[in-house]
């Protein structure tokens, strides 16, 4: 299992366009991925669950990845977050 934290830098936070792209990126891997904010979490392949978290700019989220391709998945999600959120 891999976990890491990321501070959202997008001025709007996690909104529809980048959330959809994040879901698409997560679906490329077999590993199970969750994004947590505080005591709430969402599966990274479920767009509406992700948007329901209401993540704002400046908030810290924790990504947890478990599965056979977790190393590659973690690298890809980190790169995606840095480039888009």
Residues belonging to the active site: 15
- Residue 82 neighbours by CB distance under 10 Å: 10
Half-sphere exposure of 41 (CA within 13 A, CB side): 12
With CA atoms as reference, report the closest residue to 38 among 7, 57, 61: 61
């Amino acid at each position: 299992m891999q976990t890491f934290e990321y501070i959202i830098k997008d001025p709007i936070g996690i909104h529809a366009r980048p959330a959809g792209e994040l879901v698409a990126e997560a679906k490329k891997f077999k590993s199970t991925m969750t994004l947590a904010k505080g005591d709430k979490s969402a599966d990274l392949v479920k767009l509406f669950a992700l948007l329901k978290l209401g993540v704002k700019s400046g908030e810290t989220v924790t990504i947890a990845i478990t599965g056979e391709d977790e190393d590659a998945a973690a690298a890809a999600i980190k790169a995606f977050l840095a480039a888009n959120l």
